[in-house]
Amino acid sequence: MRTTTGFSFLSLALFSINLWSQDQNKPVVIAVDAAHPGAAISRSMFGVFFEDINFGADGGLYPELVKNRSFEFQDPLTGWHQDLGISKTGLANPRGEISIRMEAPLYQSNPHYLNVRVYEPGYSFWNSGFRGMGVADGAEYRFSAYVRSHGAKAIRATVTDENGREIGSGKLEGFGAQWKRYETVIRTRATTQHARLNLYFDEPGALDLDMVSLFPVDTWKHRENGLRKDLVQLLYDMHPGFLRFPGGCIVEGRQLATRYRWKTTVGDIAQRRTIINRWNDEFDFRPAPDYFQSFGLGFYEYFQLAEDIGAKPLPILNCGMACEFNTNETAALDQLDEYVRDALDLIEFANGPVDSPWGKIRAQMGHPAPFHLTMIGVGNEQWGPHYVERYKIFAAALKAKHPEIKLVVAAGPAPAGEPFESMWTTWRQLKADIVDEHYYMGPEWFLSNTSRYDHYDRSGPKVFAGEYAAQTAGTTSAENRNNWKAAIAEAAFMTGLERNGDVVEMASYAPLMAHVDAWQWKPDEIWFDNLRSYGTPNYYVQKLFANNAGTRTVPVTMQGEPMLYSSATLDEGSHELVVKVINHWAHARPAEIRLNGINVSGTVKVTTLEADPQAENSFDHPTAVAPAASTADVRSGKITTELRPYSVTVYRVPLQNQTAGLR
């Protein structure tokens, strides 16, 4: 009896395995209702979220090499060093000394400066940069400073490598008794990640120094005060639909006093007020005491960046609330005027005529044409009744004056439960425009939430999947990886965003950038060091979706197929049908993509991303996981193909001469 039962179980199991493997060999049928395109999809669906976290701005996208150039860090000598010895009076350099002063500063908004006293020729001190300075062989760097002389005549600057070898030099001279900016260009003769800038004084005398800068000449679009070329190029290549800036929690600040105030980030860079970066001391396991915001990359530069990369600008503004995970400080309701004024003035700064007060500042900065702002975020990751009260005041003022501007509101930090549910109930009642959802969840969550938006109310607010990233170890864990396991799960989820493109207006991975030696948060879409950068597998998924977004959804079905995910769109611009299929099986699957209702034949462009789940990119292998291009045949509306193991594949089917049913 036992033998018989055992035999029965065994044969049943073998029979099921047999059936299963036969099933695996049967072509998967992906039925695309090509003749019946559905709703319009937002043209700016897949975008980027930029925050100054992980040294993303200062030390990253903003390529100033001098750290604490304006002596405004909490410890005003942070980043500045000199050789000290024991003298009669204590620890000192007998040749000279440096000290911080505040009398008659360059600008009241930048009140500290460096007083230099030279007693003997050869006095020097140096700046160590952001974890060193990255300089390249043959490249040019603009060395500049504001100087007020008390007798000293010249500053000799050298750039040295990590072994102290001089690899470039320049000189500033002819100083007067009033603050004035001087500059020269230094060409470096070697490539190093860890250079430093040394300032030498060859004659006794004294002077005051401020805004000491070493800035690459070769920036994106060759702009002075421009952005780091390789990093902007990665963004540009994505063709992102929008650029969200400046964050993130950085908008809120740990306290309201250190919130992001856009007005202090525009105009002359020497007058922009440096403040602490809220990621400076957020995580005990990743302290960054030298993390401040110079605002060299400010709101003008963000708008310009958005324009450069073809993205719609999406600024997020503080709504009178500091980070609810930190102090939870709120501005009293009768003190909100300044915050609301900031929002109204921002619209004028972005879109106003050149003779309006803020439009004039935009024009003076070099951009008389408007930046075409169409939306603003009111608060970042807020929630609760305090938020709703403040939103109502913002909405009343903004909608009265600018009904054309859409307002983005938050649904809290998590994708379900409380406060997510009550925030959504409120936003539906208040008929909010766009609701920002955040999900920092495990890869499994992304795989099991691909139909999350299938049943969202089409008549309610639109959705902005404003911050998401699969966390392989746990939210904010230092062990999180930017591997293919995370990226393919995000891709599967994104098919759900795309299929629901009528309700999901925008989506962005977060955070965007991280310095390998100075990060606070993992995972991140793009990693960089002082000279190099690479896109993660997650970047390539984002890029693939952004480069292959359509303008209308197209219905697609796969009967009873677990671990396979798909979406289809019509691109009315290029007149192509775009089909995306994700195979999450560890083995290849034969497939038939049936383009029902159209009788198209020809060649289809195919792009495939495939990798082992643990695969990652790195500086040495930046494209270990990267898209590969190929072609496939479409015959009478059918593509017979093979879905590679753990793969994301995009098929672009040209519809020239094929108009049946497509309007």
Q: Does 507 bind ligand AHR (CB under 6 A)?
A: no
Least distance to ligand AHR, CB of residue 622, Å = 23
377 counts as binding ligand AHR under rule CB under 6 A? no
CB of 376 to ligand AHR, least distance (A): 16
**What number of chain residues touch ligand AHR (CB under 6 A)?**
12
**Is 513 one of the binding residues for ligand AHR (CB under 6 A)?**
no
Residue 51 binds ligand AHR (CB under 6 A): yes
Would you count residue 565 as binding ligand AHR (CB under 6 A)?
Answer: no
Candidate residues 114, 159, 197, 249; the one interacting with ligand AHR per rule CB under 6 A: 249
Using CB under 6 A as the binding rule, the residues of this chain from 140 to 169 that contact ligand AHR are none
Instruction: State the minimum distance, in angstroms, from the CB of residue 325 to ligand AHR.
Output: 7
CA 195 to chain centre: 27
Environment class of residue 122 by beta-carbon count within 10 Å: exposed (0-12), middle (13-18) or buried (19+)?
A: exposed
486 makes contact with ligand AHR (CB under 6 A)? no
Non-local (6+) Cβ contacts of 55 within 8 A are: 130, 131, 288, 291, 514, 515, 518, 519
Minimum Å gap between C-beta 512 and ligand AHR is 9
Please confirm, yes or no, whether 381 is among the known catalytic residues: yes
DSSP structure class, residue 267: S
Site string for ligand AHR, 451-470 (x = CB under 6 A): ----------------x---
Task: Pick from 65, 494, 506, 510 the residue near ligand AHR by CB under 6 A.
Answer: 510
**Nearest CB to ligand AHR, comparing residues 412 and 537:** 412
Q: How far is the CB of 633 from ligand AHR (least distance, A)?
A: 43
CA dihedral 390, 301, 618, 440 (to 10 degrees): 10
Q: How many CB atoms lie within 10 A of CB 622?
A: 15
- Contact flag: residue 52 with ligand AHR (CB under 6 A): no
Q: Which residue is nearest to ligand AHR (CB)?
A: 248
Active-site annotation holder among 381, 437, 525, 576: 381
Closest CA to 155 of 128, 118, 189, 129: 118
Which residues in 192-231 contact ligand AHR (CB under 6 A)? none
For ligand AHR, which stretch binds (CB under 6 A), given 82-90, 245-253, 539-547, 622-630? 245-253
| Cα Rg of the chain, angstroms | 28
CB 209 within 8 A of CB 145: yes
Task: Give the residue with the Cβ less far from ligand AHR, 480 or 569.
Answer: 480
Closer residue to ligand AHR in complex, CB, 255/271: 255
d(CA 37, CA 46): 20
How far is residue 168's CA from residue 154's CA, in Å, rounded to a whole number? 17
Taking a C-beta distance cutoff of 8 angstroms, is the pair 402, 370 a contact?
Answer: no
- How many Å apart are CA 314 and CA 46, to the nearest integer? 13
* Contacting ligand AHR within 393-422 (CB under 6 A): 413
Sheet arrangement for strand 113-118: 96-101, 113-118, 205-216, 140-149, 180-187
Is residue 546 within the footprint of ligand AHR (CB under 6 A)?
Answer: no
Which of 245, 260, 266, 264 is closest to 364 using CA atoms?
A: 266
Binding residue (CB under 6 A) for ligand AHR from 58, 64, 381, 498: 381
- Our finding on whether 525 is near ligand AHR (CB under 6 A) is no
Query: What distance in Å separates the CA atoms of residue 224 and residue 79, rounded to the nearest whole number?
Result: 23
Q: What are phi and psi of 465, to 5 degrees?
A: -80, 80
Query: What is the smallest separation between the CB atom of 260 and ligand AHR, expressed in angstroms?
Result: 11
Backbone phi, psi, residue 654, to 5°: -70, 140
617 binds ligand AHR (CB under 6 A): no
User: Residue numbers of the site for ligand AHR (CB under 6 A)?
Assistant: 51, 53, 247-249, 380-381, 413, 467, 510-511, 521
Instruction: Report, as residue numbers or ranges, the catalytic residues.
Output: 381
